[in-house]
Structure formats: structure tokens, C-alpha cells
A and B are shown apart, each in its own frame.
Chain A
Amino acid sequence: MKRRVVITGVGVIAPTGVRTQTFWESCCADRAAVSSIPAHWCCYFEPNSTVWAPLPAWEHETAFVGRIERMHFDRVTLLALNATVQALDDARIGRRVRDERKNTYLVDGIDPTRCGVFVGTGIGGITGFSAAQGNHVLAAISVAAPELAAKAGPLMRMPSRFNPFIVSMVMPNCSAAAIAIKIGATSTNRTSCQACAAGAVALGDAFHAIRAGALDTAIAGGAEYLTDEYGGIFRGFDVAKTLVRECDPPHRANRPFDRNRSGFLFSEGGAAVLVLEEAGQARRREVWPIAEITGFGESFEAHSLMAVEPSGERMAASIGAALDDAGVDASQVDYVNAHGTGTEVNDEVEAAVIERLYGREAAVNTTKSLIGHSVGAAGAIEAAVTALSLRDQQVHGCRNLDDPIRPLNFVRAARALPIETATSHSFAFGGHNAVLVMRRFRE
């Protein structure tokens, strides 16, 4: 008999909430985050898209990250640590100080030698690298050509020094390493890097490791921070014509699965971390699971780095693989948390695949309609939403979905929904497809 894998803790930090509870309440009220991009970015380029989903300010201290560690970590890692602490608290895993100088902890009730850490990210600590590079180039220009620097004025934005910790800040595995160091988790430590599917792959790998008996606990999810001082990361997506172009009024710009969609809403970033445990361990700890993960499937399109394969064959293959892994039929799926970016081709292909595989009865929504696209964090945030939807038997709506591209059972506004089985889709640049299957937890 296969070991069962349950979710016992969820931690989310996202544009609509810096705590899991506030984020989930925002989802259930169909609240979205959207505003104009920072004005100074337009000194560097003329954007086609002019809106984004910024993160609210958040308190680092609540995530056991002090001033000193903030100097060591890129913001992507600070987000990952924030979500981790929330998830551990949610799972009622206590902690004691291990090393005061290093600000590290021991966790209670789980075996750290059987605890893995799995984190997905699209581009790791690129913001830290961008800042260091800004100092590296612009400080030299300021010395060599002070008149030019004075003339360039506000374009010369840079940190006061070249950060000496930049190597560890920028490496994509920094977040997974930092989490494991923080809690002393000494087993598998893995970083997934499959763009928009990275968070889902991290969770899928963690699920399989626990089910196979290699681990008893996993801290798994995704984190991304996409905002550099100069707007260069935003420009990369903008120039590729992936971002929303109809931006007036801003709150109507982001409209996945609508006939008038024009691209995805760029997110400043976010993170979601889930505590996964073997069900027997959770029972012994007397923690009631939020949901159960029952399947994970992947496929690769071998088609294009930036465009989805138009027949949807490989997309459907990943869903089929996940359902097979879970031992359920597509007709048993009550709710699909779609990838649903809002780009023209992705939504067209995904909607067709959903209709073909699940039919028109399964409820469908996309969390990106509320918080935009946070790349490597997206799959993990959407998995968190799927788990919370199963727990509360409640789904959020698709914002701005006035004229759906297909007659699917789209959730137009938040409502109660009986859900036994749900899927969460993630389809990435590069061609990586990843799908998780979850069910309502029952003994």
C-alpha cells in the first residue's frame, strides 16, 4: 500500500496578502492587486505594459530574519523564509534556538534527518545580481566621468557598495539552502528551475519522495522576486509581448480566459511553502491535514522556449500522467486551478485541453487573475490555493472574465463548492508541464 502524503501547513506571501490568512481572505473576496509600474522605470525604456501586481510591505522580523541576514539574502530568499515560517507555524512545528549567532533553529516533532527541502524558482537571486552589477558599472562611470554621471542624474541609481555576499545571494539554490540551514533539515535539498512550473515541480518531487519512503517530511514550494531597480526584468517580459497591453483602466487589464485578454499581469513576486508529511506522522502529531496530495505528472513539449505547443497534446499528457499517478479519472475532478496566464495562445490551448479532458462540469478558475504571474512561485501559490479550497470547500472567482473563450464551468465569483478531487496546472516557458492532484483529506 502506498504511503499517503498530506499537507499540514501552508505559508503564502503574495501581492494580495503577506500572511496566508489575509491572502486567502482576499482570494475569497475576489480581491486583486494591480497598480501602475514604478514611474522611474520609464526613464530607461518605453514600456508597452504599464501595470503590475506589487507586493505589500512585509515585516522580516516575523520570519526570524534579522537585519544582519537581510544583508546576506536576495529578496527571493527572504520571501521563501517568510513563507516557510508561516507554514511551520501552520503545521504546529515548534522551534528552539540552535545557534544564536547564526540565528538558526531546531524544529520539534519531526526528524530533521528525514526532512527534505524542495524550492522552485525561475531566476533565483537576479535582483541582487542586478543591484551589484549596477554598482559595479555605474560607480566606475561616476569616478571616470563625473560630468557624464551628473548629466545622467536619476539614471545612476545604484546601491552604495558592491555586495560582498552576491555569489550566495544570486545562486538559485540559495533559498532551499537557507531554509534547510535555518531549521537544520539535513536530507534531500533540491532546487527546481522550470520557469513557471518550478514551484509545482518542487511540490511534486517532494510528494514522490515522501510517498516512496525516502522522506517523512518536506518543506516544499516556490519563490520569486522579479523586480530590479531599473525595470529590466519587466522589460524582458514586456518586449517579448507576453504582458497585458490594454492597461486602461488598470483594474480591468488582467483578464485570463476572456476574449479580450491581452497578456499576463507581471507580479513583483511572492512565495508559497507547504509542509508535506507522511499521513501517519501527521496523525501522531495530532495535526489535521489541510488536504492530501495524491498525484503528480509531468511532460515536456520539445516545441518552443516561449510558446505553448498548439495542439495541447503534451499539456494533456501531463494532466493524464498526474491523474494516473493519483489513480483517478478526469471525470472525478471537481475543480481545476488552471495555469490561466491571460496570454492569447496559452489560454486558448489550455481551455481546449480542459474541455477535452474534464468536460464542462469541473469548476475552473485561475489565481493569476487576482495576483498576476509570479513565475517560479506561481505553481506553489496555486497549489496552496487548491489545498485551501479543498479545506474550506470554497473557490475564488476569475476576475474580469466577462466573455469566456469556451463554455467551461468558469468560477465567475467566489463561492462555496463541494470538492473531493482537484488539480493544479502549471505550464512553463521552456516547455515544462507539471500537474498536481489533490483530494479532500479523509481518514
Chain B
Amino acid sequence: MNDHNLLEPSIVEQRVVGVVREVLKVAADEVTSQTRFVEDLGADSLDRITLMLALEDEFGTSVPDDEDSNLTTVGAVVELIIAQANKRG
């Protein structure tokens, strides 16, 4: 998948949801853009680190350590991925 697809929110969200489901083993209908990893899906600190690694692997990108604490929902991750794709032009 090329960077052009990373500018399309619905496609990015679909892939983020896929990663969240893979890491946290939750059903598709449990995950929306507003879903919170800790409060709604019960992710612990190791799950969150794993999630960030899996997202980096999925999108070939890097999640800066100082961004990590802000990435609490699916929607926040989608915004970061799109913002990074925009920066790469």
C-alpha cells in the first residue's frame, strides 16, 4: 500500500482497527474511532507498547516516544498516521 492510501482516513482507520484487533484480540464491532485502548479494551502498559510496535510495523512509520502517551484512541492514531504521510508528501 502506498502513501496515497495513507491520506484516506477510512482506509487508514480500517488498517488501524485491524492491528488493534490483532494485538488485543477483540471483535470488530468493539472498535470504532472513539475506542480508548485502556478504558474500553482493557489494554495494559505492555499491550500499549506492543500496539505501537505493531502500528509501526504495519505502516512502516515511527511513533515518537513523546507522542505515545497522546495516542489513546483509534482516532488519534489515524490522525498521526495521516499527518506523517502528509509530511512525507
Judging by beta carbons under 8 Å apart, are B23 and A165 in contact? no
Docked-complex contact A101 and B24, CB < 8 angstroms: yes
Residues in chain B near residue A161, CB distance under 8 A: 53, 56, 62
**Does A100 make an interface contact (CB < 8 A)?**
yes
Given A68-B22, A101-B24, A101-B25: A160 and B56 interface contact (C-beta under 8 Å): yes
Knowing A164-B49, A164-B53 touch, does A67 contact B62 (C-beta < 8 A)?
A: no
A67 to B47, CA, bound (A): 14
* A72: B residues at CB distance < 8 A: 50
Q: Which residue of chain A is the closest to B64 with respect to CB atoms?
A: A161
**How many A residues have CB within 8 A of the partner chain?**
12
**Among candidates A67, A160, A163, A164, residue contacting B22 with C-beta atoms closer than 8 Å:** A67
Interface residues in A118-167 (C-beta closer than 8 Å to B): 160-161, 163-165
Determine which of B24, B25, B49, B54 lies in contact with A67 in the assembled complex, contact meaning CB atoms within 8 Å: B54
Q: Which residue of A lies closest to B52 (CB)?
A: A164
Question: Interface code A59-91, partner B: CB below 8 Å = 1, 0 otherwise?
Answer: 000000011100110000000000000000000
- Rounded to whole Å, the gap between the CB of A168 and the closest CB of chain B is 10
Which A residues are in CB contact (< 8 Å) with B22?
66-68
Given A68-B54, A101-B25, 7 new contacts (CB under 8 A): A67-B54, A68-B22, A68-B23, A71-B53, A101-B47, A160-B62, A164-B49
Q: B: which residues have CB within 8 A of A?
A: 22-25, 47, 49-50, 53-54, 56-57, 62
Chain A to chain B: the 6 pairs with minimum beta-carbon distance, closest first:
A101-B25, A100-B25, A164-B49, A71-B53, A68-B23, A68-B50
Q: Which A residues are within 8 Å of any B CB, using their own CB?
A: 66-68, 71-72, 100-101, 160-161, 163-165
* 22 pairs, A vs B, C-beta closer than 8 Å: A66-B22, A67-B22, A67-B54, A68-B23, A68-B54, A71-B50, A71-B53, A71-B54, A71-B57, A72-B50, A100-B25, A101-B24, A101-B25, A101-B47, A160-B56, A160-B62, A161-B53, A161-B56, A161-B62, A163-B53, A164-B49, A165-B49
